[in-house]
Amino acid sequence: MKKKVLSILSLSMVFWMNAQEKDSLNQKKIEEVVITGQYMQQSINKSIYKVEVIDAEQIKNMAATNAADVLNQTLNIQITPDTNSGNSTANIMGLGGDYVKILIDNIPVVGDTGLGSNIDLTKISLANIERIEVVKGSMGVEYGNGALAGVINIITKKSSTRKVSVRAVLQEESVRDGYNLRKRGKGRHIQNVNIGYNIDNNWFTNISFNHNQFMGYEGEKAGYKYFGDRPIRGYEWNPKDQYEANALIRYTKNKTSFFYKISYLNEKFNFYNPVSTREPLNDGHGGATYLATDREYNTNRWLHQFNIQTNLGHIRYMGDFSYQKQDRKFFDYTYDVPNRTKISEKPENSYYKTDVIYSRGMFSNFLDSKKFDFQLGYELDYTNGYASLIAGDFFEESVKRKIFTYGTFLSAEWNISDKFSLRPGARLSVSENFDNQFNYSLSSRLKTSENSNLRGVFGTANRYPTYDELYTSFINLNHDIQGNPDLKPENGYSLGLFWDQGFSAGNGWKLNYSLEALYVDLKDKIEMVMVKRPSTYKFMNIDQYRSLLFAANANIVKDQFRFGVRTSLNGISVSKQDMDVSSPKDFQYNFQAGANVSYKLNNINTAFNLYYKYTGPSRLYVLANESFRLGRTDGFHMMDFVVSQPFWKDALELSVGVKNIFDVTSLNSTANVGNAHTAGSDRLNLYYGRSYFARLMYQF
């Protein structure tokens, strides 16, 4: 019912706004800029860091619906789904979501376990996204805790060239071979509407609504209706239903601008127990039914953000202030499967709950000089966290903790000449729970020609231990798993070299290409270690992780034709210890390649877009039978194809296509050894297979 109401609302908004005044503000298209790691909004070519940008046009051409869909096409970023929890997190160069900082408009996003790290990217819709910026490597000076493998900064739209702008989208997708619209049906159903309004030359406002309903994927299981003796009830990918609303107001005049943004997300996630139990009815006729204990998770997330940029004399100030909260609740209920009814329902409790007050401020341009500038900044994070007993297997009772972390950082940018810039930086982070952390960075950019840059970047970062690592206590007949309150933060660094070159080859042909080399080194990595045979485990700072990346990229543009190719070789070395055995320290390499092709027909503007990504086999040392062996995960190919046709003076656009053409679902893997709780699986679930989609978009 909610889905139908939202669809009607979207269409009503479109027809009402179509009668309103059209474009009255003609603003010039500016050069592509980035903000991640910058003193102020900066041209991408002049950025001191190597920033990868995925812009709104690319996102639209992909027919992506959330941040996970987009980033899956990026080399050396693998979106890792958890089909039980419904969360999908980013893995960069082999390091998981705990080591990747996720930002929205330069502010870390709240998640189940804290701020900015281990964020579910399927909860970030693309209804009002201007671009996504990606920086690989350690960014501890600029972004603090958890920014060790890289930073993903999602930038929302805050302006429009039109007096009134409207975009409404209806998108329907199959989930492998299943699709229908009815309740508890199959497929994926997306509706969103976005409305922007320039009140006058200074004020702009925007609202957006988004609904994304995923009906689940059964795979080898039999769905929620199944009952019987086999444990195959439920879904390989559980259903989830998301509603999101956003509102923004922005003011700009002279050298001052500010905006306030509010966002609300509601997500319902269903877990269906694979086991149903036969229960006699005691009706005198030998009747029986089948009961299952199922669970429903309900997540509510509020994001409030205020940003101001202004000048205090000639000193430039940029301040971010945010209050965020996320509460993931759950309740269990007994379900009569044959009769499709709930028999009983337990009270709803919080699973993970996080409240955050966050602020980040930066002062720069102290000397009012283009030759030399320095930036002084602060960052504070007050997190009030809660994790239930069932979420983390904590000892006796749920874990509550309050963390106050304060960081101050200083950097200087020295333009030694028109061609060479240097930026050193340092940061002190103070926490009431852990020892002081110091991070350093040194970045440089050399303009080797008019359209060529060489960048060298060194940076350090740290990661604080999580709830589970500190406080877990799980003991039964077969397990003894202990957290470690004495854990110290992990520390690492990265060293990168990036070169890019662009030129025009005549007759309208344009070419740019780049080379990258990046090394990441992480010490004191926290792992669960066997401390006593056969089943006593404890979290300890014991492992070392190293990752080495070489990459080459090229792009060709000619009129309506675009072609890009990317390749990379990533080597990973993990030094693991367990009792009296240690793993080898040699690098295991993984090759990746990707390509994208787009072409638009001049006369009718039909657009064709093809996206391809190959991920080669990967190898990792794993512990088995008291010794380390080399486990292997198969490689795979991903390909999406999208055709778009505009109508009605480009106000209406129909797109159709196929995603995951090679029908990838799960991979063979001997590198999954599980953990102290569960046995490893010989399959790695990544996707739910090939899907077909159609999208109808109206915009003006």
Domain boundaries, given as residue ranges, for the chain: 189-657
pLDDT at 678 exceeding the cut of 80: no
Question: How many angstroms separate the first and last alpha carbons of the chain?
Answer: 28
> Residue 635 is encoded by which pair of tokens?
């490689």
**Predicted pLDDT at 466:** 84
The mean pLDDT of 194-222, rounded to a whole number, is 94
* 29 has pLDDT over 70: no
pLDDT category of residue 19 using cuts at 50, 70 and 90: very low
pLDDT 10s digits, 301-316: 999 999 999 999 889 9
Predicted confidence (pLDDT) per residue in 283-304, tens digit: 777 788 999 999 999 999 999 9
Angle subtended at Cα 595 by Cα 591 and Cα 599, rounded to the nearest 5 degrees: 180
| Spatial contact of 351 and 317, defined as CB atoms under 8 Å apart | no
User: Average pLDDT over the chain, rounded to whole?
Assistant: 87
pLDDT at 536: 81
What distance in Å separates the CA atoms of residue 600 and residue 221, rounded to the nearest whole number? 42
- Say how far apart CA 128 and CA 194 lie, in whole Å: 7
Task: State the DSSP code for 404.
Answer: E
Question: Which of 46-50, 222-226, 594-598, 628-632 is predicted least confidently?
Answer: 628-632
Mean pLDDT of 446-472: 91
CA angle 203, 209, 212 (to 5 degrees): 150
Residue 428: Cβ within 10 Å count: 13
Helix, strand or coil for residue 428?
Answer: strand
pLDDT band at 31 (very low <50, low <70, confident <90, very high): low
* Separation between Cα atoms, residue 266 and residue 541, nearest integer Å: 37
Burial of 105 (0-12, 13-18, 19+ CB in 10 A): buried
The pLDDT score that the predictor gives to residue 398 is 78
Q: How confident is the model at residue 438 (pLDDT cuts 50, 70, 90)?
A: very high
Mean pLDDT of 624-639: 86
CATH code that applies to domain 189-657: 2.40.170.20
583-621 pLDDT, tens digit each: 888 899 999 999 999 999 988 999 999 999 999 999 888
Nearest Cα neighbor of 62 from 70, 54, 53 is: 70
> In percent, how much of the chain has pLDDT > 70?
93
